[in-house]
Chains A and B, each alone.
Chain A
Amino acid sequence: MAGAASALFLLDIKGRVLIWRDYRGDVSAVQAERFFTKLIEKEGDPQSQDPVVYDNGVTYMFIQHNNVYLMAASRQNCNAASLLLFLHRVVDVFKHYFEELEEESLRDNFVVVYELLDEIMDFGFPQFTEAKILSEFIKTDAYRMEVTQRPPMAVTNAVSWRSEGIRYKKNEVFLDVVESVNILVNSNGQIIRSDVVGALKMRTYLSGMPECKLGLNDRVLLEAQGRTTKGKAIDLDDTKFHQCVRLARFENDRTISFIPPDGSFDLMTYRLSTQVKPLIWVEAQVERHSRSRIEIMVKARSQFKERSTATNVEIELPVTSDATNPNVRTSMGSAAYAPENDALVWKIKSFPGNKEYMLRAEFTLPSITAEDAAPERKAPIRVKFEIPYFTVSGIQVRYLKIIEKSGYQALPWVRYITMAGEYELRLI
């Protein structure tokens, strides 16, 4: 079962090694580079590659970020989930340090990169990836290093995500409840998949070591406490917590208690698989009038209560790649042809509930088409929107208690917003 990475590579877009750290001396940079450049050349498109590849006794696991590949190599039966996730965390750490992770920023900061690679992994075992705490003892500004650094307590503490001695004049917590609606409608107009993924995003500016307790209108909890739950409670299908939340406690009595990290983090994510009515429904009719003209008629309807309003609505309608001369009319908003995406993008700034808008577009097609043209990729209609002050699930934050031994009063601010996640309606 045991197993760890042999080495960690940061490679450029062509697969050449930029920086690497050898943890075990059994995979060489030459070997890895030779393999990986070949892999990239062969396929061209890393999207078509399995992210776990075996070659000559070595397993390579990689992810891509901007123009950089991050790759772990191993000769053992290591934990693939853990190492791949670790690579994603490494991206987060680098982003925290250099704002953006790309080839340039790695070169510009190679000294820190080496330092970080030494700290976040030891002998191929992932060690510590809390960027905020790391930056307390690995600094980019070289001159501050003159002061002797000590490992922050947090590195080895049970509370590994927060340092002691944080001070704020004004103690505040911002809590955003963000729900993304994912929906997939097939060409018959049937909803074949819909779910809601919610996240409680927190930004904390709190002094000391605050103990927090969060109350939601969670049906299981309310029922356990013997309260009436009519209409107001919700069922959460699967909840995932930031590592600061005491899982055993939640399992026991559904209390969400934690000492938060400083700054922003996702406290909790949850998923609801109850079918929701599509908030914005789009119907499109495509008519080919002759060989040279195509007409698209689109109806968009908001299916939520009038008191809410969707903002920044964007409806992306796929159009065949050889269409030209668009002629578009809309009853609301504006539409622009985006030939680079083979799509017509219809934007509506504000879309109140229970309304219907129309779009009619006409395109010219070339009169001559190739005999055996490759089939077009059938893209779905995609919709983006935001609906502030509204959640699909009806989740409510009942309270957020913050207790710190100094006894300060902290102000929690809560906002709700719903937005489109992967919102796809397949064309007929």
Chain B
Amino acid sequence: MSGHDSKYFSTTKKGEIPELKEELNSQYKDKRKDAVKKVIAAMTVGKDVSSLFTDVVNCMQTENLELKKLVYLYLINYAKSQPDLAILAVNTFVKDSQDPNPLIRALAVRTMGCIRVDKITEYLCDPLQRCLKDDDPYVRKTAAICVAKLYDINAELVEDRGFLESLKDLISDNNPMVVANAVAALAEIQENSNRPIFEITSHTLSKLLTALNECTEWGQVFILDALSRYKAADAREAENIVERVTPRLQHANCAVVLSAVKMILQQMELITSTDVVRNLCKKMAPPLVTLLSAEPEIQYVALRNINLIVQRRPTILAHEIKVFFCKYNDPIYVKMEKLEIMIKLASDRNIDQVLLEFKEYATEVDVDFVRKAVRAIGRCAIKLERAAERCISVLLELIKIKVNYVVQEAIIVIKDIFRRYPNTYESIIATLCESLDTLDEPEAKASMIWIIGEYAERIDNADELLESFLESFPEEPAQVQLQLLTATVKLFLKKPTEGPQQMIQVVLNNATVETDNPDLRDRAYIYWRLLSTDPEAAKDVVLAEKPVISDDSNQLEPTLLDELLANIATLSSVYHKPPEAFITRVKTTTQRTEDEEYAEGSETGYSESHVADGAASPPTSSDNVPYAAARQPGPAATPTQPAPAAPVPDLLGDLIGLDNAIVPVDQPSTPAGPPLPVLLPASTGQGLQISAHLTRRDGQIFYSLLFENNSQIPLDGFMIQFNKNTFGLAAAGPLQVPQLQPGSSATTLLPMVVFQNLSQGPPSSLLQVAVKNNQQPVWYFNDKISLHVFFTEEGRMERASFLETWRSLPDSNEVSRDFPNAVISSVEATLDQLAASNMFFIARRKHANQDVFYFSAKLPKGTPFLIELTTVVGNPGVKSAIKTPNPEMAPLFFESIEALLRV
């Protein structure tokens, strides 16, 4: 059946374009068709054939469907570069949209929708209107998608012409394919709109579930994905939905299966009967396992999703760990993901078998995989206390093989095991020390040095071992230097003899005078001062008991996990990041140009900061963030940690790396309103004073900043950086501050994004900011985040749904606090003020002599806040109670409401 189109790619010596022009205008049909093919061939290999526009369009009016399609294709490609000539095609398009042949009618609307030229779009409306009501389902299904195309080009036009209504009508179409495409189009439009357009009622739900049975496989995916947004009213409805979706688990198409799993998991949250839940878990296991026999790329997506599913519902696959054992020929990306899941499913019951597997993998050839396997053994040791000893013996066996990178990786994980089970397995230290010479990677070296320092009193020749490193101290990487410093101090405190004393001199000298690394220098000075003023205090600090690290294999935060589970099968679930973190498509029309740069979706924040944590842990690498994070004790455990401890070079690197962030097109003008709080007083900032405050305008969060230059020199090159924080606030673009002459000031509104650099740990209102300019050192200051700036404009709830939500949340989610000094003197003013902060008034009720007010608010990921304020109007004393799925946010909320009521 093979064609011979390749001949069209050949060119003649004579000028190609004129020759083609001639052929396109030939009087012979066949010759014209061949010429168009040549044009398309030239277009395919990237030659510019736009100059033939008129000649090609002249071939458009033809009975020959193949030729017509080629001309249409040409138009899609070049209409944009010849917008004035594109009008030539309109007539034929409109005519074709009324052709008796449905293929041609559909082709015409489909193509018109692809041409992003205003002149064409204008003429698209009438044909589209007709095609949405066409007799032929093929035309209707094409028209349905076309509405989404038009919305992307000109949303207003779609709304004005009532296309949304026609599209909604198509949900009830008798043809399943039309229904599926209408759903896809509506879901897409909803995504790009702030208004509720596509709301799924229980009626549409049931209609769509019926259509599901007859759709093509792709259509089923559209429908299931759209329906997974639906929140069932109660457990019964949820069970009904699940019952109708469950058969999809038997579909041969993996995407249908995954989308069905998503929907079932969503509804399961509402189902209260444990029997039903257990049954569903049982039903989902086999299809999930079968996904692992799909194509490797699909397996990869499935494994990333299973990773999420087992975090929420560990029972589903608890007995299936064997299916995640790696096959010899699995692609490496599949093996890596399987390993992750094996760790998650490892238990006391299966650990022996799992360890055998890990040991097998540790002798493979792919270095990354081997390392991950070794690390996996360590993680199992940390996770399963009873298996720790067996894990260690496997690690020791691996060390004996003496493959360099295996040894190094093993030492890194053994250090973690020591931290998890202090004073338990020190007998193996001697074996570890044998491999000392082979270590050449910073992390492994640092780990070994940490072990030596930590257990100096039990290692007879600890001083000799450390000394062997000291000679090369200046050449070592920072990570190793820091550990050497700490380990030497520990050694000295434990064995204050002559040898260590001399060593400490050398180290302190090296780490203060000879280095230009401020982290190292700072830490060395602290030790120095401690040792010289109060050695006992030094002991308390340096030899303090370390917090025990814990298992980290269920590491995603519950709220993030929720969101990711709602996004099963999508990219979000593959990346394990919320969609906002990598979707840069804000509004469609502005960013069509090719050269426009987009912000990297990942870490724009501080790089993993090496915390000078009183020698508790060796600095960790950031191989994967949650792991590294878990290996660092939480902030509470490290009281000696100086506030923003980001190393300066990293910060600068990041600041410079920021220049590819999104630049907002329209920056709102200078901020008005009350004066901004001073965060960096001129006295600290060498004359530079910075005042700043987070605000919310038009649905976006801004950091409103005021810079005052009271110094003697002009300041320029301002940059800003935010440390990781609870809300992941980060700058959406570079700071735009002009050069500041002495005595002058500048204000700016910096657009912010959320969920960019999330910090772990309990919610905190602390926002650490670093600002630099070309003339001064980096300034660090702290700001407080007011929760209400995150309240979205969509926070308004109907009374009924407010009550429903209130009831559905357990009482344990209710938190209250009294504000004895707050007064509500004017009800109206207070309501206005709260509404301005997107806390929407729901109802007011009298209770004895008190007034009770109810408000609703929502955080960006949809977390609702139900607020109750109780007070006697005009008298001091307000009691605030809130109910929310995230009660840990309550303290932040109270801080924020207190501030609002005080004003």
Using CB atoms and an 8 Å cutoff, list the residues of chain A in contact with chain B. Answer: 1-4, 17-19, 22-26, 28-31, 47-52, 54, 56-57, 59, 61-63, 74-82, 84-88, 97-99, 104-105, 107-112, 114-115, 118, 122-123, 125-129, 137, 140-142, 145-146, 148-151, 155-158, 160, 184, 186-188, 192-193, 195, 197, 237-243, 245-248, 250-251, 266, 269, 271, 273, 374-380, 382, 422, 424, 426
Contacts and interface: CB of A to CB of B under 8 A. Distances in A.
Interface string B595-638: 00111111000000000000000000000000000000000000
17 contacts: A47-B331, A48-B331, A50-B333, A52-B297, A52-B571, A77-B570, A78-B571, A82-B218, A82-B569, A110-B40, A123-B113, A123-B145, A148-B65, A156-B138, A193-B322, A377-B365, A424-B328
Nearest to B593: A28
B325 A237 contact: no
Contact of A145 (B64, B218, B598): B64
B216 A114 contact: no
A243 B289 contact: no
A215 to B, nearest CB: 17
Given A19-B44, A24-B152, A57-B584, A243 B570 contact: no
Nearest to A382: B328
Majority SS at the chain A contact face: mixed
A271 B597 contact: no
Nearest to B226: A1
A192 B300 contact: no
Interface string B248-268: 101111110111000000000
B601 A57 contact: yes
Contact of A110 (B41, B64, B222, B584): B41
B196 to A, nearest CB: 14
B785 interface: no
A352 B344 CA distance: 43
Contacts of B521: none
B360 interface: yes
B216 A160 contact: yes
Given A3-B191, A52-B574, A376-B365, 15 more contacts: A2-B190, A24-B152, A51-B300, A63-B297, A78-B570, A80-B573, A82-B569, A122-B142, A123-B113, A128-B216, A148-B101, A156-B141, A186-B357, A246-B213, A380-B328
Given A75-B583, A239-B250, A243-B252, A118 B148 contact: no
A247 B110 contact: no
Contacts of A140: 1-3
B6 A108 contact: yes
A48 B366 CA distance: 10
Interface stretch (B68-76, B695-703, B707-715, B751-759): B68-76
A117 B644 CA distance: 54
B525 interface: no
B148 to A, nearest CB: 6
Contact of B252 (A2, A151, A242, A377): A242
B383 interface: no
Contacts of A148: 63, 65, 101
A28 B329 CA distance: 35
Contacts of B733: none
B44 to A, nearest CB: 6
Contact of B300 (A50, A242, A382, A422): A50
A122 B147 CA distance: 12
Interface residues of B, number: 131
Contact of A30 (B244, B247, B332, B594): B594
Contact of A79 (B188, B255, B353, B364): B255
B728 to A, nearest CB: 17
Given A25-B116, A82-B255, A271 B289 contact: yes
Contacts of A59: 571, 582
Contacts of B66: 111, 115, 142, 145
Given A57-B584, A150-B103, A114 B70 contact: yes
B570 A111 contact: no
A65 B222 CA distance: 27
A85 B226 contact: no
Contact of A107 (B6, B40, B365, B591): B6
Nearest to B41: A110
B155 to A, nearest CB: 15
B99 to A, nearest CB: 10
A80 B247 CA distance: 22
A271 B3 contact: no
Nearest to A77: B579
A269 B252 contact: yes
Interface stretch (B177-185, B413-421, B422-430, B473-481): B177-185
Given A112-B3, A122-B142, A142-B66, A127 B218 contact: yes
Contacts of A247: 213, 247-248, 250-251
Contacts of B297: 51-52, 61-63, 84, 87-88
Contacts of A24: 152
Interface string B283-311: 00011011001111110111001000000
A238 B103 contact: no
A315 B136 CA distance: 58
Given A54-B582, A59-B571, A150 B218 contact: no
B666 interface: no
Given A26-B592, A110-B40, A160-B177, A75 B357 contact: no
Given A3-B191, A150-B101, A155-B138, A85 B213 contact: no
Contacts of A30: 594
B12 to A, nearest CB: 19
Contact of A85 (B46, B214, B255, B584): B255
Contacts of A186: 356-357, 360
B252 A240 contact: yes
Contact of A151 (B4, B5, B106): B106
B327 A424 contact: yes
A376 B248 CA distance: 45
A22 B74 CA distance: 12
A49 B247 contact: no
